[in-house]
Amino acid sequence: MSRLYVARNPRVAARSLDGEMMIMSGRDSTLFTLNKTATILWQSADGTTPLDEIVEHRICAEFAVEPAEALHDAEHMARELASHEILQISEEPIPAKDATSGGAR
Amino acid sequence: MSGLLQEMTERALALGVPISVQLDVTYRCNERCVHCYLDHEDHGEMTTAEIKHLLDEMADAGVFILTFSGGEIFLRKDFFELLEYSRQLMFCVKLKTNAIMIREREAARIRDLGVQSIQISIYSHRPEVHDAITLVPGSLKRSLDAIRFLKSQGLRVIMANVLMVQNMADYTGVRALAAELGVECTLDPTITPMMDGDRSVLSLGVDQNALRQVFRDASLVGDVDEFCAVAAPANQSELESLPCSAGHTSCYVSPYGDVFPCVQFPLPTGNVRQQRFIDIWQHSDAMNDVRSIRLKDLTTCTSCSHVSSCSRCPGLAFMEGNMRGPSSQDCERSFARTGVPSANMLAKKNAGASLGRANLVQIRALPVSAATSAASAIA
């Protein structure tokens, strides 16, 4: 089974407010807020760490959830965020030049 | 403001987070607009490194919306470097510019960097009027060319039309031009006193008749009767509310690092060359003084019939001498909108009448016979 890689889309604007990300789409300036799980996914989306590792080391470590179920939910979440051009997803690592290097605080 | 942004702003307010900052990177400018309040000399702008350090501090403090303004931002040779850095920090970046230095290449770079919007000052659709305000021949053409370049990149452009005596007749033309170019348009009759306190530029502001005309233009205000209605008396909840976002969720930083509650509120609260941005934001006595103001605390305004609907700007009030006092420009607007004079206007009228009488006594010419007697006595 192929692994999924996720990276923050450098065209969005983003900031953490009280532990949750607010993200403005670069496409149409729509504003989104991410819940705590999606925020962890966003903050971990460096383009080089596979999604299953993010789920295992960051999400399962934070929440009492079955790894398989968590990965399923995370994949769904990543694809939804990608549909809004908030995240980039690929079956290959995503080079840093295509992803934001600074990250949002 | 979208519902979600409003919700996030309210959360920021509760958390004490400065969610929005305007940063002027220079006061230098390549136009000389007749109504401009700035001193265009460079008195020691922050360096590239200082601004980058400030951007780091602002990101850490939770600033989300960052507006770069000036002066003319593109006069800084490092502006694109600052813009790129701010986008690496994932600010939602807005630009305010006259755009006359933006050509195809700059527009493409602005697009590539993911700028959210570009606000451009357009005073008239007629070159002879616009250029007479900027005092730069050909400036309207340059700005409009820039708007087309930016639009061709798919960017959001907003025309900002400041209304004054010189261009009062032209706002409908500017709006038509904006529609033709497919951009948004804002109209603002506010003229800001000069930074040194000189209020002479206020004479460029439009008069009551002009304001009344604007406030009764359905294409601008929608339902005229509703817009021009006198608001119901303020209830207790409204009297407990905040005058505006200045110092609560937003602030302004000058090219010299001075932090103010707002670009239109020149109360110094600290300097980022000497203190951390977050320390000024959280602990400045001046900032906290601004934060303490509630509508119920305002002198004169609390008893005014417009208090719940007035656009009163505490910064303009500060420039009149009292941040808790009235702002005459906003009183004039409320009067033009509703036909009902504000409490401040009534108080001034009464004071003015008595002052007028006193002045008349002081300057009244002596009767010829008495003057002759006095002259004789001195001789």
Are residues B114 and A104, on separate chains, in Cβ contact within 8 Å?
no
Contacts of A72 (CB under 8 A, 6+ apart): none
pLDDT tens-digit series, residues A75-100: 999 999 999 999 999 999 998 765 55
Q: Which of B2, B62, B114 sits opposite A17 (nearest CB)?
A: B62
Token digits of residue B251: 């602030």
What is the pLDDT at residue B377? 35
A25 in contact with B, Cβ within 8 Å: no
Q: For the stretch B239-252, what's the b/e string if a residue is b when 16 or more beta carbons lie within 10 angstroms of its beta carbon?
A: beebbbbbbbbbbb
- Chain A residues within 8 A of B184 when measuring between CB atoms: none
- Retrieve residue B233's tokens: 């008396």
Residues of chain B with pLDDT under 50: 353-379
Q: How many CB pairs under 8 A join A and B?
A: 61
Q: What is the pLDDT of residue A82?
A: 94
Identity of the residue in B4, B63, B89 whose CB atom sits nearest the CB atom of A31: B4
pLDDT at B259: 98
What are B226's two structure tokens?
């509703």
Tens of pLDDT, residues B26-66 = 999 999 999 999 999 999 999 999 999 999 999 999 999 99
Complex prediction ipTM: 0.89
What does the alpha-carbon distance between residue B280 and residue B32 come to, in Å, rounded to a whole number? 33
DSSP state of B233: P
Separation of alpha carbons B201 and A65, rounded Å: 65
What's the pLDDT score for residue A5?
96
Q: Please tell me the predicted confidence (pLDDT) of residue A2.
A: 76
Distance CA A59, CA A76 (A): 14
Distance of CA B83 to the CA centre of its chain: 23
Residues of A in contact with B117 (CB under 8 A): 29
Q: What is the pLDDT of residue A103?
A: 55
Give the nearest partner residue to A100 out of B19, B88, B93, using CB atoms. B88
A93 inside 8 A of chain B by CB:
no
* CB of A82 less than 8 A from some CB of B: no
Say what the pTM is.
0.90
Between B4, B90, B116, which is nearest A104 by CB? Answer: B90
Which residues of chain A, if any, have pLDDT below 70? Answer: 1, 97-104
3-state secondary structure B16-44: CCCCEEEEECCCCCCCCCCCCCCCCCCCC
Task: Output the DSSP codes for B89-106.
Answer: TT-EEEEEE--TT--HHH
